[in-house]
Amino acid sequence: MKKVFAEVYGCPRNIADYEMALGLLKEAGFEIANSSAEADINIIFTCIVKNPTEHRMIQKIQEFTKIGKPLIVAGCMPKTSQRAIENINPDASLVGPDSIIHIADVARLALEGKKVIFIADERKPKLGLPRARKDRTVAIIPISIGCMSDCAYCATKFARGRLCSYPAEKIVDEVRAAVKDGCSEVWLTSQDNGCYGLDIGTDLPTLLKEVCSINRNFTIRVGMMNPVHAKKIVDELIEVYKNEKIQKFLHLPVQSGSDRILRAMKRGYMVRDFTAIVEKFRAAFPDLTLSTDIIVGFPGETEKDFQSTVELLEKIKPEKVNMSKFGARPGTEAAKLKQLPPETISERSRRLHEIMKM
């Protein structure tokens, strides 16, 4: 029995792919190793959302390459940075986000010394597959792949593509099976939960109602929703959030407190849209946990724009802030813009960190 070791980085969506891959490998007769040293083949599920993250992925690929065993690079990086991977390890096999179903075949061929590349857009729902969960109590269930946005800074869309929502009945079946398997918490995840169903004639509140109707004892954590889509369904969302199964958690990334910068980012909403959603949710759920994301130093950001972000955070007081220094991702519109000096971005990042501690 051949042994396989895998590491995963990035978002819950990538973790779900990792769990499916290990489930498929176990089903195919592979044994899951506890370390790369004891494995016959290694797999890394990569993330490319930020420059520092991709740099770390490159370092990890270099480390795995030095081990001298067959390597499969999966996740987002094979579709966005194939040449960079092959410059490090020309023999590595590549598996894109849509191609996890092929992981066992890729592993077998890689062990025979063959290089395999599966990075085509297959757009098939990744539901009903075996799982090897990182946490036996948590079911990370994808509800779609891709998104409907064209944010100027985002490279993830190059890997995950346009929105492809999964059928609600398949998602409900997946939740039901996970809960029966012992999971007490269900994470519904995607690149943007807010646009779920726009391509198949439904929406997120309708899906949540169906999931809540499952007669089992479990809770639901709703993943990230961009304001551009959440604002259209906010009243319906609040109504379904009243169900005791749904955790009172809202991940709503604003990215900037400046309307001018939001337009440059091509986010599709204004600051007032974000604050209106937050105010409605907090009025309905005083115990709400609000998480938001901020990008510091987007091209063209002035001191006034930055201060607008500071003032927004001081006004809203989110329970959690995921802050990122802007770094231009190759191929994006923002990469073509005049970049701010790195020292300016670092100084603003430091100041925002200090403010968030208060």
* Model confidence at 12: pLDDT above 90: yes
* Mean pLDDT value across residues 90-106: 96
CATH code for the domain defined by 135-247: 3.30.750.210
Quick: pLDDT tens for 271-296.
999 999 999 999 999 999 999 999 99
* Mean pLDDT value across residues 239-265: 98
Quick: pLDDT tens for 201-210.
999 999 999 9
Fold match between domain 135-247 and domain 248-358: yes
Considering just the CA atoms, what is the radius of gyration of the chain in Å? 21
The overall pTM is greater than 0.75: yes
The amino acid sitting at 160 is R
* Model confidence at 176: pLDDT above 80: yes
| pLDDT score at 171 | 98
* Mean pLDDT value across residues 82-93: 96
CATH code for the domain defined by 248-358: 3.30.750.200
Q: Which CATH class is domain 3-118?
A: alpha beta
* Model confidence at 358: pLDDT above 90: no
The residue among 159 and 104 whose pLDDT is bigger is 104
Residue 97 DSSP symbol: G
Domain residue spans of the chain: 3-118, 135-247, 248-358
- Can you tell me the distance from the alpha carbon of 274 to that of 276, in angstroms, rounded to the nearest whole number? 5
* Mean pLDDT value across residues 130-148: 95
Q: How confident is the model at residue 32 (pLDDT cuts 50, 70, 90)?
A: very high
Q: How confident is the model at residue 123 (pLDDT cuts 50, 70, 90)?
A: confident
| pLDDT score at 356 | 83
- DSSP states along 263-329: HHHT-S--HHHHHHHHHHHHHH-TT-EEEEEEEE--TT--HHHHHHHHHHHHHH--SEEEEEE--PP
Quick: pLDDT tens for 217-232.
999 999 999 999 999 9
